Structure 1
Amino acid sequence: MSDSTALPGAFAEIADDFHALSGRDRLQLLLDFSNDLPALPERYADHPELLEPVPECQSPIFLITEVQGTGREATARLFFSAPPEAPTTRGFASILAEALDGRTVGEVLDTPESVTGALGLAEVVSPLRLNGMAGMLVRIKRQLAEKSAP
């Protein structure tokens, strides 16, 4: 049973999808997410030095955010680079992109760090990998807070 009521809307839906499945099927859904990670826009694909690494991840992953507007009502945009040979990491990035990209900065900043543990993946991926997803969220929130400040 999931406790998705405390999660932001998009995360609650994703958590419900994971909790509706058994362990092996949860892992498959995570792999499905990895296939859905949007490609980097050319402005970043051609300039990987602009992206921030996430050292908590076992695989090389990089991210960058953009803010359209100012303050908490600005729109947050998220972009990730993760290699295809790192499907777990790509899956986590894709979940964050689906749940948070296009939301307001305030919604993203208010997202509790506990969302990474609320997906029911602890039984199919290592705590170290879950820590990587949490590291992505921390960096996203920090970048958005800096970029949305008036």
Structure 2
Amino acid sequence: MNATATTRAEQAQQEITEEFAFLGDWTERYQYLIDLGRQLPPFPDEYKTEAYRVHGCQSMVWLVPSGDASCMHFEAASDSAIVSGLIALVLRVYSDRPAAEILATEPAFIGTIGLAKHLSPTRSNGLAAMLAKLKGYAAAAGGG
């Protein structure tokens, strides 16, 4: 791949980084996360089952995969406003992508926008658990 070719996941991470660069302090950034979470599409109650639950999160989080190795789609929800915002960011980077791209994409935006330093340990653990489950679904779909 030449240096100018970027994946859609990398492009999404760059856009997230640029959006957060416009926000001043972490009060504004948390509010933006909450606003992003509010924009998630409605999540069907029938998906709020143990089978789709992400363990390792302090709040309740559900992650539902669909599609196949050529294009995986994810729906997710949480009972926490900030975690819902994190979900919105994760879905922008990883949903509607080929499984191989999902597996190859590191969540660089977490460090780039300063999330790693500003999330509580329990939220950081939950975010890591969500990413691990998402990548597990991609691996199971034949992404690697």
TM more than 0.5:
yes
Normalised by the length of structure 1, the TM-score is 0.77
Relative to its length, the structure with more helix (as a share) is 2
Determine the C-alpha separation between the residues in 2 that align with 1:24 and 1:48. Answer: 30
Paired position in structure 1 for 2:72:
76
RMSD: 2.4
Paired position in structure 2 for 1:24:
27
- In the alignment of these two chains, the number of paired residues is 136
Asked if the contact 1:67/1:144 (under 8 Å) is kept, the reply is: no
Determine the C-alpha separation between the residues in 1 that align with 2:56 and 2:111. Answer: 15
> Closer, same or farther in 2 for the Cα pair 1:122/1:33, shift >3 Å?
same
- Paired amino acid for 2:103: L
Structure 1: which 5+ runs fail to align? Answer: none
Determine the C-alpha separation between the residues in 2 that align with 1:11 and 1:33. Answer: 15
> Closer, same or farther in 2 for the Cα pair 1:15/1:128, shift >3 Å?
farther
SS in 2 for 1:46: helix
- Cα shift readout 1:61-89 (whole Å, capped 9, x = no counterpart): 11121233x4xxx1010011312xx1011
The percent of aligned pairs where both chains have the same amino acid is 26
Structure 2: which 5+ runs fail to align? Answer: 1-5
Normalised by the length of structure 2, the TM-score is 0.79
